[in-house]
Amino acid sequence: MTGDEPVEVIVTAPDRDWLDDLCRQLVDRRLAASAHVVHPVTSVYRWKGAVETASEARAFLRSRRGLLEQLVAYVVERHPYEVPNVTALPIVGGNPDYLA
């Protein structure tokens, strides 16, 4: 692996405007190539022993595996959640021109 492999990074947040701004910062700093923000999404999760439901915003960012550690650190340092969702999935295929 070279670190150039494409990944999709998912970030959820309580506020669309905050997440829009974060995505703009990540693209501006070249930690992500692009982002799609979806709002609202309904999240159901277990937190501190209770099942919770919340309305959140969700971002899907395109980045590279070699940037993932920096991207995660950048988000975690600024995120309003105690334990933010920042997860990444490998992109296994797609339009080669887009992925380039």
Q: Where are the domains of the chain?
A: 6-99
Tokens of residue 37, six digits: 């923000």
Percent with pLDDT over 70 in the chain? 99
- This prediction has a pTM of 0.94
Q: Which two tokens stand for residue 90?
A: 């490998």
CATH topology of domain 6-99: Alpha-Beta Plaits (3.30.70)
**Residue 89: pLDDT over 70:** yes
In terms of Cα–Cα distance, which of 73, 68, 82 is closest to 8? 68
Sheet-wide strand order for 50-64 = 34-47, 50-64, 6-13, 86-90
Angstrom distance (rounded) from CA 16 to CA 2: 34
Q: Name the residue among 53, 75, 55 with its Cα closest to residue 63.
A: 75
Average pLDDT score over the chain: 97
Q: What is the pLDDT of residue 67?
A: 98
Overall average pLDDT of the 3-23 stretch:
97
